[in-house]
Amino acid sequence: MPLVFVILSALLIASAVGVILFRNPIHSALCLVVNLVGVACVFAALEAHFLAVVQVIVYAGAIMVLVVFVLMLLNSKTEERTLSGVIQLVLSGIIGGCLVSVVGPFIIEQWPIVAREEPPISGSVEALGKVLYTDYIFPFETAGFLVMAALVAAAMLAKTKGGDPNHPRISEGKNDGTIQAGGEQ
Amino acid sequence: MNYDYSAYYVLLSLVLFTIGTVGFIVRKNAIVAFMCLELMLNAANIAFVALSRRVGNLDGEIAVFFVMAVAAAEAAVGLAIVIALFRNLETTESSDAMELRL
Amino acid sequence: MDEQLLFGTFPLLTTLIFLPLLGAVTLLFLPGERSSEQGEGEGALGLPVVVALFFSALTFLVSLVLVSRFDPENTSYQFQEQISWIPSLGVSYILGVDGISILLVLLTTFLMPIIFLASKSVREGRRGYLFHMLALETAMLGTLLSLDLFLFYVFWELMLAPMYFIIGIWGGKRRIYATLKFVLYTVVGSLLMLVALFSLVWSYAEQSGEVTFALNEIVGNVQLSVEEQLWLFAAFALAFGIKVPIFPFHTWLPDAHVEAPTGGSVVLAGVLLKMGLYGFIRIAYPLFPEGASFFGPYLAGLAVIGIVYGALVAWAQHDIKKLVAYSSVSHLGYCVLGFVAMNTLAATGSIYQMLNHGISTGALFLLVGVLYDRKHTREISAYGGLAGKVPLFAFLFLVFTLSSIALPLTNGFVGEFLILAGSYQQFPTLTLVAVSGVILGAVYMLTLYMKTMFGEFHEERNGDLTDVNSRELMTLAPLFVLVFVMGVYPAPFLGMIEPTVAQYVKDHHERTMTSQNRSNPRALPSGGIDFARSPETPEVESETAKASSGVPSVLVSTAQETLVQQVSS
Amino acid sequence: MENSLTLACIPLFPLVGALLTYGVGKSSKDLAGWVATGASLLSFIFTLLTFQQLRALVGAHSYEVAAAGAHGAHHGGEAQVYRALEAPLFEWFRIGDFGVDFLFRFDSLTAVMCLVVTGIGTLIHLYSIGYMAEDESRPRFFSYLNLFLFSMLLLVLGGNLLVLFVGWEGVGLCSYLLIGFWHKNIAFAGAGRKAFVVNRIGDAAFLIALFLLIQHFGTLDFVALKAAFENTLASEALLTAIALCFFIGATGKSAQIPLFVWLPDAMAGPTPVSALIHAATMVTAGVYLTARMHFLFDLTPYALLIVVCIAVLTAIVAASIALVQNDIKKVLAYSTVSQLGFMFVAAGCGAYWVAVFHLVTHAFFKACLFLGSGSVIHACHHEQDMREMGGLLKVMPWTGLTYGISTLAIAGIFPLSGYFSKHHIVEALSHSGETNPYLGTYEAAFTAVITAAAIMTAFYVTRSFAMTFLGSYRGHAHPHESPVTMVIPLVVLALLALGGGVLNGMVPFQLWLGHTIPVGHVHSSESIGAALLHSWPGFVGVAFGLLFYTVLPQVPKALATTLPWMLGALRGKLYIDELYGAVIVRPLEGMARMLWKGVDQRVVDGCVNGTAAIVDVSGEVVRNTATGQLRHYALLMFAGTVFLIAFYFAM
Amino acid sequence: MGAVLGIVIKGFLVQQVTLGLASFCTWVERKGSALIQDRVGANRAGTNLYVGEFLKTDVFLLKPFAFIVRNLLLRPAFAVFRFLGSIGVINTLLNDALKALLKEDFVPAGTNLFLHALGPFMAVFPVFLAFGVIPLAPDVQIFDTVIRFQVAEISTGLLFLLAMGSIAVYGVVIAGWTGNNKFSLLGALRAAAQMISYELAMGVVFATVVLHFGTFDLYRVIEMQGGSIANWGVFFMFPTGFLCFLILFIVGMAETKRGPFDLPESESELVAGYFTEYSGMKFLLFWLGEFAEIALFAIVLATFFFGGWHIPFVEFPAGEWWAALIGHAVFIGKVLFFCVLQITIRWTLPRFRYDQLMNLGWKMLLPLSIVNLIVAAAVKLSL
């Protein structure tokens, strides 16, 4: 069992458990960041360097920032531990345990540890780029459209309808940043 | 002579996936649930990369790349919804949003 | 079965079936109902009623033509029409009439004009009411005349819809419950029948190679194992049992009758109840002789329970219509007992009694309708001492009561006597109990008559009662005449039924023998004495079992009776 | 078997009369009465004509045959050749080999019955014109009477058991209508219904007998049956069963022990009805049936034993109840039941012709008694209680005289008809041992009981005569003699009662019946002295009757005080009505209600509505799983997938 | 085991260079701003340090040593110290550091202690990490082993920079939030928004640059810029290269939240922006992080557009240690030049208004860089 794997998996599992057990959302967010960076490290360990960095940029850098951003914006309070919550935790824990115990052995016998002579392919940027833009050009484009659509949707959803009456929008030119005479801002 | 430990990584991804699911089920707060979702996606990514390395071609990694794209899109929309939810119900507790119930 | 060509070129049966439907459709094109509703006073009938009357009378005429051309001696299906309808499914549009169904058809077409005459009492939405009645008539005639299992099932289901609306819309207070119960009861049964139908056709298709629903073909040569026959017969028996309210499935009848409008009750009692037994006769018995002979005694047992139970419960009723409804249960118990006894005497009696019941109970419902139109209540306690006030009504009510309790010289007696005489051969002990039904019948009918007609008259409550007016009399007169004609001189009617029934019974016994020899060699002598008149056929089974009573009669002595007791397992 | 046209007309007239009377009644109520009586008279005349034809047919052979077959064997030897007139109207129905046709047959037995029915019928029609004079629904009454005559004639003339049954039930119907004639009073209507239902019970047994005959002999025609019974080997048990079923039918109609309860209540009807139906004609139908089916009863000695037992029991019980009745019609009603008992005793002993003879004589004097009581009631303005009457002989001489003659006749005093028939019954009973081994054992006991009953009969009939006509008038109405239309029938009937005995006196009655039923050997007529001696029970009864109710009125009162319970029991009709009510009627009503409420509504409907309820409840349970909580749905989904995966791997 | 040791040593060296640059920039800012604003600047601290009685010892034996040390060692040292004091170095580097260390570490009520500490760490840590991929000097060949003055020679160097840039946002956000008051929260929001939006432009520019150089590894980028001055990043496909430089320069200013873009911690409106509630060492960390980031962007500009350690028209043999030294000096010179440039711009241009800031970012820089990328791609394909 390679040392790196042990450390990383311990880190990941600990941070994952942290995400779900911390009662303060911000704490769990940060745990998730740690987890994501951990995953990036795993990618790096598996020679998928480009993915590692992209993982950091996309997940840690963009998504989690957004999440923390929203958490801050809505300043959600810590959740108190309720009985039904505990029951559900135990219940889902048990079911999760079943899943692992069932699929685990299957995985192990499906992909036995085997010695490999030829060096595994390296997930360098060039190699990935070559494959991405030749075989997978179509999915790549659709991913692009998908993200675009998501952005438009997000913008629409989050935008308050017609803006807040007593805070006219700067971009509409109605508010040049100076405080109105009425005093209310 | 290096050994191929893909099975362990897939096992790791399975564990992470289970933790993610349990988290999704347990946590009431919508954003935390969303985070658990991200956890699950990452677990999948690990499995992808590990197995693509074992198989020998880059398809797995490409898949991870697309998973990330989708995750990003989903994050954007998800959080927009959470904000809209907050604006209407003054709460992010998913358990409070029960209007759809009969 | 000689394939009788279309009668000349004119498809008589199809016109008979679809004429009422034509009437129903023309009803829709009549001028707006609002205008004609307020227009006519008490006397004149509205335009829709006239149209309905015209079409039903026309149908009656066609049926009369049919009867006149019907050759009683020819026991096979007459006026056969055969057109393939859905070739891929092997479904064809086959119509035919024989001795058994001819009189039921006549009864239907005879009752409908009377119902339309009596439909004055329906105040609002009369056109809809008439429409449904005409549609119902088509469905009933279709069921009686179709010889294709699929076609039979289609018409069987079609009968439900109009009845549902008639009771549902123009019924009394609890009509929704009643009509829902009625439909659900029948549908449950008919779904089972559908399943059995398909499994039958399927197994026949396997044997004969080609899928067909034609009754004639399947009846003759389908080989089913005993167990299969038992199950299939049970399914059919349940569907038909519910329609003929055999004892445990009868609770829909009183509700349906009480809540149905007068016309609805008449058609329900007059014709619809007969469909169940007709189903047994036409489909269940010929197709599954083995099942029939196994279930025969049980059906007879249930029928007799029905007779006594119906009579007793009728006696405890406070509502006239419910009382008459339960009496129907009792009367139909006789019909079922008669038919199940499966000998010519009883079977003919059973079919004849079906006609009588249609007439007497139909008339009783019309009479109750007359009272209901005036006082809008069916409680027996609300009436009393009417004989003095409405003598004509009292006289008519008396005559139909007597017909209902089978007084000699009325039609009821002939039917009942034949049934009991015939069924005594087959089920002696059960018939003894059934005869008690005759006594109980007298008890509850005369109690009803006494409570309503005799006793002191409450001027303040029923003071304004008017006697039967001319229109109502027109509806009751034909039935009144029929009661005495069929009672005193039944020969022409029986003449039509008897030959076909004799042939039917003989075929049934043959089929039972052949299917038994095939399935289990232990020969079980067929039940009942064969009254078949045709001397030329060798009296095989009656010969062996006849004790040497030396009496010239062809009948079989007591030995036969004991044999019948032990029912084949 | 010659066909005769007049035969077919006999029942036709009353049928047409019934319809005509009702039609005429619409316009003038009085004319209706006369039309009905005319129809009845016409029917009587045609019966006489047909009687002549039969005599002509039979006459040629009757005497030498009678002389030769002096002691015709009871088993109907070929001595008498069966002669009858027939009128086949149409074939009723034919199913397979079993066919029934609507046929009238007029043999000697039918002739006697027809004469009695139409004769007395006409007299009673005449009488009821006067009696029903002031009742405004008279037309209905007369049409019913005519309808009754029609049914009775059908019964009597019927060529086969089925036509007989038609008449049988028709008569039951008419008695129902007539008893409940004054339907305003619910009690009278109830009595009518009771009569019909009790008759119906008897008819049910009758039907069973018919079915047995059809099953085993394939025909219901009397001639065919008689031939079939000549040499049948059917088991005796079967034949006894058939005979008993017929007898139960007879008890229903002729009011014997188990089913006699309806007759006393039938007095609710107008008196002419009681006279015609419940004295002369309908009640005798049972006896006629037994006589008609003599070939069956002869083969079943055991059945005959039962018949005699019940008959004797009925006679004694009815007589004892009649002793204490105060209502004049009730007394006569019970006396009828008792006399019917006498007839059945004769029939039971195989002496069918004696039963018929007693039937005829009884018809005369009982009709006269009823009509007499009718005119008394009519005079005292519908007062029926004898304690309110008395001393009417002076006021109503004719009614009193006729009533007296009939009393003597029924008591069985020598010269009157009553003596002859009653004497033959006693004699037949005493010799019954020869033909029927079973009867031999009880012969002596039965004879004693029958003689006691004869004495009681004489006593209560004289008591009724004394209480109404002798002594002083105790009522507060002012009675007067009835109009002439009522008196004439009384006189005629009284004369018939007086001379009835002559009919047999000259032997022809017995011989005449011999053509159809076995009559045994002809007795030489006995001397007057012996006759007077044999009618001692009559003299004893009459003496005591007069003694107790004219000379020593205080004796019955003393008796009443000393034996109060017996008096109460007898007066209360031995509480048989209450017994039937408690044992049969109440439980049946209770069961009916229980069946309806319990089984029908609770059990069967319960299941039906139950299934609907089950669907409801299960729907409610499933609905609760949709909590609206996102987490719950997620949990369910997760559990589902895990299960599927596990299942997949488990496979 | 050797590689790890090498990395540790290199890491330490790079760390020293970073700190050196950061402190130099601090000083430049302090004195530079004074120069620009025509005021004296810091020149007092440390100038009154004389040897005086220092190290005068009565112990006889130690007197000679004391004398040597005082005159040969202390006196020149203190002279240098006084000189440095007069030019403000002591004030800015020593005093401020000491002051930060000694100040009371104030934590606002109601916030989460751990997060309050985590804020500055997350702001600074990624920047220092970013220095790992930067080659400070050309390779040195010593007895057959090549020493590369680059801590991590990973193929995705540039991307790593980008990643570290995006991680830096956390520090700001957490700091703002733990400040537990509206002003710090608003400051943090503005900072985060600004950094994220300018990251986009940076990303696209990097894409163009990579398009030209074909590699993410910074060392090879500099190697490609060898030869003549024409190979410098600035001049490739003439307008695109310069445009990239320009955009990247502006983005650099924005990313470090300084200069005209320093809205987040603008004194006039938001007191001190997201680090209002920070004092003492945590404040110092923020401050250091900021200046390190200035140095970082200066380095990026230098390496990508001005040929790193290459001197125009002069070629040095590879592998020589003295060539490496000169190269490093050249490289550091360029970097210092850009640092000074950024700082001077800060003290000259007025602060942007927030919407102008956003417009610049989204409506000018981003489209420009995209067009630039497309043109560069087109040109490259056509060659």
Q: Residue ranges per domain, chain D?
A: 2-571, 575-650
Instruction: Say whether pLDDT at D75 is over 70.
Output: no
Mutate to test the interface with D, among A99, A103, A106, A108 (most CBs of D within 10 A): A99
Q: Residue E93 contacts by C-beta under 8 Å, 6 or more apart in sequence? A: E23, E26, E27
Instruction: Say whether pLDDT at E266 is over 80.
Output: no
In-domain check, residue B11? no
DSSP tag of B42: H
In-domain check, residue B12? no
Question: B-contacting residues of A 116-145, CB under 8 Å?
Answer: 116-117, 120-121, 123, 127-128, 131-132, 135-136, 139-140, 143-144
Number of domains in chain E: 1
Contact between chains at D642 and A88 (C-beta distance less than 8 A): no
Q: What 3-state class would DSSP assign to A118?
A: coil
Q: What is the mean pLDDT of residues C173-202?
A: 90
Determine the structural domain holding residue E38 and report its residue range.
2-42+112-382
The CB-based long-range contact list for B89-96 (8 Å cut-off, 24+ gap) reads B92/A74, B92/A76, B92/B29, B92/B30, B92/B31, B93/B28, B93/B29, B93/B30, B94/B28, B94/B29, B94/B30, B94/B33, B94/D629, B94/D630, B94/D631, B95/B28, B95/D629, B95/D630, B95/D631
Contact between chains at D635 and B25 (C-beta distance less than 8 A): yes
| Smallest CA–CA distance from D627 into chain B, residue | B101
pLDDT reported for residue A128: 81
Subunits adjacent to chain E (3 or more Cβ pairs under 8 Å): A
D581 at C interface, C-beta within 8 A: no
pLDDT reported for residue E275: 74
Report the share of chain B in percent with pLDDT over 90. 36
Q: Residue D382 contacts by C-beta under 8 Å, 6 or more apart in sequence? A: none
pLDDT reported for residue A24: 84
Subunits adjacent to chain C (3 or more Cβ pairs under 8 Å): D
B49 at A interface, C-beta within 8 A: yes
Q: What is the mean pLDDT of residues E367-378?
A: 91
Question: E-contacting residues of A 3-32, CB under 8 Å?
Answer: 24, 26-27, 30
Name the band, by pLDDT with cuts 50, 70 and 90, for residue C34: low
pLDDT reported for residue A164: 59
**Residue pLDDT, tens place only, C406-448:** 998 899 999 999 999 999 988 899 999 999 888 999 999 999 9
Q: What is the mean pLDDT of residues E319-337?
A: 87
Name the band, by pLDDT with cuts 50, 70 and 90, for residue C368: very high
Determine the structural domain holding residue B59 and report its residue range.
28-94
Q: What is the mean pLDDT of chain C?
A: 84
In-domain check, residue E122? yes
Q: What is the DSSP string of D290-337?
A: HHHTHHHHHT-HHHHHHHHHHHHHHHHHHHHHHHH--BHHHHHHHHHH
A131 at E interface, C-beta within 8 A: no
| D contacts of C313 (beta carbons < 8 Å) | 592, 595-596, 600
How many contacts (CB atoms, under 8 Å) link A and B?
Answer: 238
Instruction: Say whether pLDDT at A11 is over 90.
Output: yes
Instruction: Say whether pLDDT at E187 is over 70.
Output: yes
B89 at D interface, C-beta within 8 A: no
pLDDT reported for residue D77: 38
Q: Note whether A touches C: 3 CB pairs or more under 8 A.
A: no
Q: What is the mean pLDDT of residues C257-284?
A: 91
Q: How many angstroms separate the CA atoms of C13 and C5, rounded?
A: 13
pLDDT reported for residue B3: 72
Helix axis angle for D285-292 and D328-348, nearest 10°, is 10
Name the band, by pLDDT with cuts 50, 70 and 90, for residue C320: very high
D141 vs C217 pLDDT, higher one: D141
| C contacts of D234 (beta carbons < 8 Å) | 549, 551, 557
Q: What is the mean pLDDT of residues D10-19?
A: 90
pLDDT reported for residue C103: 92
| Smallest CA–CA distance from C429 into chain D, residue | D208
Name the band, by pLDDT with cuts 50, 70 and 90, for residue B1: low
| Smallest CA–CA distance from B100 into chain D, residue | D628
Helix spans in D75-221 (H): 108-131, 138-157, 161-179, 186-217
Name the band, by pLDDT with cuts 50, 70 and 90, for residue D1: low
ipTM, two decimals, is 0.64
Q: Which amino acid is at C559?
A: A
Q: What is the mean pLDDT of chain E?
A: 84
Instruction: Say whether pLDDT at E60 is over 90.
Output: no
Q: What is the mean pLDDT of residues D9-32?
A: 87
At residue C501, φ and ψ (nearest 5 deg) are: -65, -40
pLDDT reported for residue C135: 94
In contact, A65 and E122? CB cutoff 8 Å: no
Instruction: Say whether pLDDT at C554 is over 50.
Output: no
Helix axis angle for C320-341 and C289-315, nearest 10°, is 150
Instruction: Say whether pLDDT at C6 is over 70.
Output: no
Find the CATH number of the domain harbouring B80.
Answer: 1.10.287.3510
In-domain check, residue B22? no
> Pick from A88, A99, A106: which is nearest to D642 by CB?
A99
pLDDT reported for residue A62: 86
Contact between chains at B39 and A116 (C-beta distance less than 8 A): no
Helix axis angle for B30-55 and B59-89, nearest 10°, is 180
pLDDT reported for residue C298: 93
| Cα separation values, C191 from C154, C160, C186, Å | 12, 13, 9
A67 at E interface, C-beta within 8 A: no
Q: What is the mean pLDDT of residues E196-208?
A: 89
> Pick from D626, D634, D638: which is nearest to B101 by CB?
D626
**Residue pLDDT, tens place only, D214-249:** 888 888 888 888 888 887 777 888 899 999 999 999
In-domain check, residue B81? yes
Q: How many angstroms separate the CA atoms of D567 and C399, rounded?
A: 44
**Residue pLDDT, tens place only, D377-394:** 888 888 888 888 888 888
In-domain check, residue B59? yes
Instruction: Say whether pLDDT at A160 is over 90.
Output: no
In-domain check, residue E72? no
**Residue pLDDT, tens place only, C215-259:** 888 887 778 888 888 999 999 999 999 998 888 888 889 989 989
Contact between chains at D93 and C554 (C-beta distance less than 8 A): no
Q: What is the mean pLDDT of residues C348-354?
A: 93
Q: Residue ranges per domain, chain C?
A: 291-504, 505-565
Q: What is the mean pLDDT of residues E142-156?
A: 81
pLDDT reported for residue C215: 86
Q: What 3-state class would DSSP assign to C97?
A: strand
